[in-house]
Chains A and B, each alone.
Chain A
Amino acid sequence: MTKITYREAVRAGLREALQRDLRVFLMGEDVGQYGGTYACSKGLLEEFGPERIRDTPLSESTFVGAGIGAALGGMRPIVEVMTVNFSLLALDQILNNAATLRHMSGGQFNVPLVVRMATGAGRQVAAQHSHSLEGWYAHIPGITVLTPATVTDARGMLLAALQEPDPVFIFEHAYLYSMEGELEENRPVVDISRAAVRRPGKDVSLITFGGSLWKALAAATQLAQEGIEAEVLDLRVLRPLDIGTILTSVRKTHRAVVIDEAWRTGSFAAEVAAQIMEGAFYDLDAPVARVCSEEVPIPYPKHLEEAALPQPDKIVKAVRTLLG
């Protein structure tokens, strides 16, 4: 085991990907000379050169679209969109081209593109830089949506994504970049089809992903002191969703709380709740609960931002309500 940060894990994944396959290159805003906004690509320009570590102009739509074209042309591009907030400028390329080309062309063209971006709130950067929109992306057929929450996944999901023939979107929670974790020495191949049980329990299932995983685990620790054994599920992959692992857990615990940093209405948590209802309604002892963000633009002051986001105490409270 090596102790490294999430940021270093992403960088390790990038380095390995660039070393393994000459078709792989990285492009995005400030990925080269600056070293990446979150320093994920620091040192890569020096190691791999400007042909493979490409600083782009601030033109999200075009460099994502160029990633699509390069993938069609036989490359394996990794496109870094600095944050999910700016990915809105590339939505046309993502939805109308990347996700659609394979089906619309009758299977003639596939787009082996990997797009990485930071997501999430919690750093006091206010309403325009705090979005959690991975659930929107998970709405789109034709793409895979990954939400690495651990250092193992931060490194390994990128490598697994590069083996996919179709577009993969990786959402790295900005709050996690400085988090430290243990990376196995043997550098395991990471599966990107299954959810993971991060903490076993029998009384309630806490179902979450990305940055909220650590809040759910904190809540589970607190609940354990009260004698409540919460099982914590890390979805890892939002599309295609591993509903089997969710239902197995819910059938055991009979109660579920879904935690999602997106706004409650139309959130990915709503999708999970609906699928639990469809697949395990008669196993439930209580309605599925959700802990999501308040339906407000995320404000700057710390106390207001914290109040707007899911927090361990809100999760604990939701569990207590469920258990009566």
Chain B
Amino acid sequence: MSAVRNREHGLELLRHMLRIRRFEERAAELYQLGKIHGFLHLYIGEEAVAAGSIPSFTNEDAIVATYREHGHALVRGTSMNQLMAELYGKAAGCARGRGGSMHFFDASRRFYGGLAIVAGGLPVAVGLALADKMHGRKRVTGCYFGDGAVAEGEFHESLNLAALWKLPVLFLCENNLYAMGTALARHQSQPDIAAKAKAYAMGADTVDGMDVLAVETATGRAVELVRNGNGPYFLEYRTYRFRAHSMYDAELYRTKDEVNEWKRRDPIATFEQTLRQARLLRDEDFQQIEAAIATEIEEAVAFAEAAPWEPIEDLNKDVCTDVRRTT
């Protein structure tokens, strides 16, 4: 049974989740205002997964995520200023503004994206883990992907190769039940995702992804198993996306009742209750956390607004490394 260790621990998890939610709520508003363009995939509803799992990784470990990666980057520690500037497409962004919402990168935190082709990150994560193994480094690569990815060939190929070569990669499936608009049961003959992983001879657990403590406990254990040279491991987090797939989704594929049912399990509200019942959260704590986040967001928006655009003269910069070949 997962429990809150102490007040500090509880408030930290709550703060991570609230930071993601408020950041994204603001991002959605900015999208409506025409400040942010392109695709914007919100993580709202799924915050317990990033908040509970990312802290299990050390700074030396690597993270590979998807186009729904705002939460992962925030918890990993990339500054909100850089992330907001990236949403704006400004040169001060975490990918110099070139990637936008789907392509957050941060080399200093070994955050390898923001890779937006479904399942395309799995082979890369396997390779990062292969490099660690060949170097004899006790590092772990955490690879996040959604339930949609399990239909792709790369999912199966990557699980197979990682297990075959006993690579230190932790596969983290954020199962929000829909591959864009297609329900899991409508695209999988075997909807038990953890069972697929077990078929590749690796350990796999299913975790309540709406419970930040359950996520934290399961991930912490899995990371250490992988770090200790036991080969890959697999976690399926059962979670739910409260918002549309992206900003252009009429949500014809699910009922309001279903969404409301899941909202009753809101990971933030339920965890807040847990903390209050344990007398670890006072009203003023909550207000303080909210106020600090609101200030951080305002500063990030101001930073992004004021940040310069990348000059057009730099358009071709970094297509290739700027070095001349030996002749």
Contact = CB atoms under 8 A, between A and B. Distances in A.
Contact of B105 (A64, A96, A108, A164): A108
A165 B318 CA distance: 11
A104 B98 contact: yes
A275 interface: no
A163 B327 CA distance: 12
B123 A68 contact: yes
A70 B120 contact: no
A163 B321 CA distance: 12
A166 B318 CA distance: 10
Interface in A153-178: 160, 163-166
A56 B127 CA distance: 13
A101 B96 CA distance: 13
B319 A67 contact: no
Contact of B103 (A68, A104, A142): A104
Interface string A44-76: 000000010010110101111111111111110
A69 B325 contact: no
Given A69-B128, A72-B128, A75-B131, A61 B113 contact: no
Contacts of A191: 325-327
Contact of A106 (B122, B141, B153, B318): B318
B132 interface: yes
B321 A110 contact: yes
B126 A62 contact: yes
B207 interface: no
B154 A97 contact: no
A221 interface: no
B106 A69 contact: no
Nearest to A166: B320
A102 interface: yes
Contacts of A34: none
B195 to A, nearest CB: 21
Interface string A73-108: 111010000000000000011001100011111111
Nearest to A95: B117
Q: Is the interface of B mostly helix, strand, loop or mixed?
A: mixed
A149 B320 CA distance: 25
A251 B269 CA distance: 75
Interface residues of B, number: 48
A117 B124 CA distance: 20
A51 B127 CA distance: 14
Contacts of A165: 320-321, 323
Contacts of A144: 320
A136 interface: no
Contacts of A96: 115, 117, 120
Given A93-B120, A96-B117, A70 B131 contact: yes
Contact of B325 (A25, A54, A160): A160
A209 to B, nearest CB: 18
Interface string A238-261: 000000000000000000000000
B95 interface: yes
B325 A92 contact: no
A273 to B, nearest CB: 24
A141 interface: yes
A68 B318 contact: no
18 contacts: A59-B157, A61-B154, A65-B120, A66-B126, A66-B127, A66-B158, A68-B127, A69-B125, A69-B131, A93-B120, A97-B115, A97-B124, A102-B319, A102-B320, A105-B98, A165-B323, A192-B325, A193-B325
Interface of A: 25, 51, 54, 56-57, 59, 61-75, 77, 92-93, 96-97, 101-110, 141-142, 144, 160, 163-166, 189, 191-194
